Amino acid sequence: MNEYPFPYLLTAVHCLFGTVERWMLKQRGCFVLKPLSAQDLLYLYAFSVLYTGNVVFSNVFMEIVNLPFHQVFRATTPVFTVCINHLAFSYTYSYATFLSLIPVIVGIVLTTYGDYSWTKPGLLLTLFGAL
């Protein structure tokens, strides 16, 4: 199995580049920050913790599954998002939305085609991370 020995370093670099990108876009005037209510800040912090945890665990999971397998499962995240929105909030999507997800997943599968290797815990954890 192709293990990546530095998952926490990868997470730190991921967060660093996200921060630098946000700062550059703000400096270029691509967006303007708006004042947030206390409830909005709570949602923002909760989402930030969830997102950061997802990135950390996703990178750690790469120690027990290889990169091609990991990428294929991560590409299914939009499918889970659409399904959860539909089940939890009765939100409906057009067929075009569903059809647009197919090339994304197929593209990842074609790009990473090859040796998919994983362990049972790795499969479950990667699936959970995508969910």
Least Cα distance to 75 among 130, 17, 7 occurs for 130
**What's residue 3's pLDDT?**
59
Structure tokens at 35: 């004042």
- What does the domain layout of the chain look like in residue ranges? 7-130
Q: Work out the pLDDT band at 37, boundaries 50, 70, 90.
A: very high
CA–CA dist 11, 80 (Å, integer):
23
Task: Round the average pLDDT of the chain to a whole number and report it.
Answer: 84
Least confident residue range of 11-25, 60-74, 81-95: 60-74
